Each structure stands twice: as C-alpha cells, then as structure tokens.
C-alpha cells in the first residue's frame, strides 16, 4: 500500500506570497522612475509589498517547523518562499539602516546663511543650529569649495559633472567673464525614483572661484542621507576634476587665476 505524503500548505503559501511580492516590488519602482505613477501611490504599493514579503517570511518559517515535525513535503517550496521574502525585504532593511544613520533634513547646503537659489519657489523649513552641526559632522565634505580657477572654467567643470550624472538641467546662467557669478539648477533622481532639486553657484574670488551647492528634496519623505551623499560626492568629484585640469597645464605655466602652485586638496 502506497503511503501518501502531503505537501505542507504553509510551504505552498510561502512560495505563492513570495513570488507575488517580487513583481509587486519591481513594477511600481519601474513605473515611479518613469514618472508614470505619483510618489504617494508608489509608497502605498511598496507598503503592500512589505506586508506580502513579511507574510511569506512567516509562512516559510512556520513551514520549516511543521516539515521538521511531520515529515511532509515542501522543503523546496518553503525555501523559495523564504528567498523571495528576503530578496523583497532587503531594500527596506537597507533603508531602515539609512533612516537610523542619517538625520531627516529638509535640505543639505554648503552655505545655509546664503543658500543657492532654486529654480522654483519652494518652501524649505528652517534648520536649527544643532541640526546644522549634526549635518556638518555627518557630511564633513559638504562645504564651500575654493579653487584656483576662474569662474568660467569652474562653471564648465560643473556642467561636465552634471552631464556625467545625467541630471536634468532646469535653469542655467553661465558667467560671460571671470567677474560674473554662474548658477545652475538641476533635477536629480534617487534610486527609488524620488526627485531632488540640486543647485550650484560659482562666485568669483580673489584667488579664483568659490563653488557652493545645495540639494533639496521635492517630496516630503525621508531622504535616507541621499542629499548629503550627493553633495559630498559631487564636490569631491569637482576636487578631482580641478586637480586633473591643473596637472594638465604645461609645467611652470600659470593657471587662470591666483596661486596655482598646488592643486586643491581633496577633503576626507
């Protein structure tokens, strides 16, 4: 007589829920990045994804326990359900870690006293002194840069930086000579499809040009440190670009403006 070995229903449901959570995670993300759905809809769908993945995780763990006791079939199904659940939850676990690590801010700027103007009127909540000190400690490289190049050359380097990152330019006022100020505003997209506005300002200085930068979220949602990291990454990239340009000059030839005996050191 053949003994029928049952397949655990918990294992079956673990795989079903986990396999359903995968497209529920990916499709809204693709649509949000393509600007086909709004941010509130995207957040709601991803919240459903988290619930679905948690249910799959719980079902897989219960299935493991029952399979160990009863000897039913379903180990592979439970394992697939567990793998799908962990895969779906990984981005949210990462975001949770970033939420704990970084403070929630309304902007990151190299000059809070005289912030770089944005392309559109936007209400930005004022930041306390304690929060500014916290940002300075968390993002030590998000500071005004002084370079031994004129404003025209520096503005060209800023435009090259924007082009390399694929940011969408909204307004641009290029300096026509070395005594003018240049400004540039762009829209940058985070990996999850949220849009931040980024503004640059190049100001003439006695020894060359000063560069300020500002990054502001356009949606009231935690930025998970993306704005601070963007400012630091862009300014460190400018440090490297200026260093390469100065090194490319013929030996002994002066730079455009000011003392150019040494390239500006990149800040750690």
pLDDT at 174 over 70: yes
- Nearby residues of 71 by Cβ (< 8 Å), 6 or more positions away: 5
Each residue's pLDDT tens digit, 82-126: 999 999 999 999 999 998 888 888 899 999 989 999 988 777 878
CA 2 to chain CA mean position, Å? 59
- Residue 176, domain CATH: 3.30.310.80
Residue 223 inside a domain? The answer is yes
Residue 90 lies in a domain: yes
> Quick check: is 265 in a domain?
no
pLDDT of 258 > 50? The answer is: no
pTM: 0.82
Q: What is the pLDDT of residue 121?
A: 77
Domain stops at, among 51, 85, 101: 101
Where are the alpha helices (H) located in the chain, listed in sequence order? 9-33, 39-70, 75-101, 129-138, 151-165, 226-247
In a domain, 264, yes or no: no
Q: pLDDT grade, residue 163 (50/70/90)?
A: very high
d(CA 228, CA 138): 8
Contacting residues for 18 by C-beta, under 8 A, at least 6 apart: 53, 56, 60, 80, 81, 82, 83, 84, 85, 88
| Domain assignment of residue 181, given as a range | 108-247
DSSP label at 152? H
Same domain, 29 and 126: no
- 111 vs 96: CA distance, rounded Å: 29
Of 73, 101, 129, which one is at a domain's C-terminal end?
A: 101
Is 171 or 72 the better-scoring residue by pLDDT? 171
Residue 70 has a pLDDT of: 83
The answer to whether residues 118 and 232 belong to one domain is yes
Confidence of residue 257 (pLDDT cuts 50, 70, 90): low
Same domain, yes or no: 221 and 120: yes
Q: Is the pLDDT of residue 235 over 90?
A: yes
- Coil, strand or helix at 199: strand
26 — phi, psi (to 5°)? -80, -45
What pLDDT score was predicted for residue 266? Answer: 45
Q: How many domains does the chain have?
A: 2
Q: Are residues 213 and 174 in the same domain?
A: yes
* Segment 173-181 mean pLDDT: 93
| Residue 189 sits in the same domain as residue 82 | no
What pLDDT band is residue 65 in, cutting at 50, 70 and 90? very high
Whether 254 is in a domain gets the answer: no
Query: What's the CA gap between 225 and 1, in Å, rounded?
Result: 64
pLDDT (0 to 100) of residue 87: 96
């Amino acid at each position: 007589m053949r003994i029928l070995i049952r397949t655990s229903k918990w294992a079956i449901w673990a795989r079903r829920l986990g396999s359903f959570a995968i497209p529920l995670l990916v499709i809204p993300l693709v649509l949000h990045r393509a600007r086909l759905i709004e941010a509130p809809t995207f957040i709601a769908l991803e919240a459903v994804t988290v619930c679905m993945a948690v249910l799959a995780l719980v079902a897989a763990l219960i299935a493991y326990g029952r399979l160990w006791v009863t000897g039913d079939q379903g180990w592979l199904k439970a394992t697939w359900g567990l793998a799908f659940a962990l895969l779906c939850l990984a981005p949210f676990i990462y975001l949770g870690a970033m939420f704990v690590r970084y403070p929630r801010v309304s902007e990151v700027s190299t000059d809070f006293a005289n912030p770089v103007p944005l392309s559109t009127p936007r209400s930005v909540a004022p930041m306390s002194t304690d929060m500014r000190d916290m940002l300075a400690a968390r993002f030590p490289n998000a500071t005004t840069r002084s370079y031994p190049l004129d404003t025209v050359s520096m503005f060209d380097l800023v435009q090259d930086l924007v082009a390399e990152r694929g940011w969408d330019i909204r307004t641009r006022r290029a300096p026509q000579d070395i005594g003018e100020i240049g400004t540039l505003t762009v829209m940058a997209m985070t990996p999850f499809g949220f849009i931040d506005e980024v503004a640059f300002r190049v100001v003439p200085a006695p020894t060359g040009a000063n560069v300020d930068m500002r990054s502001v979220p356009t949606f009231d949602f935690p930025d998970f440190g993306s704005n601070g990291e963007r400012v630091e990454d862009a300014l460190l990239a400018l440090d490297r670009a200026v260093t390469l340009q100065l090194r490319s000059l013929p030996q002994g030839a002066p730079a455009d403006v000011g003392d150019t005996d040494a390239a500006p050191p990149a800040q750690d």
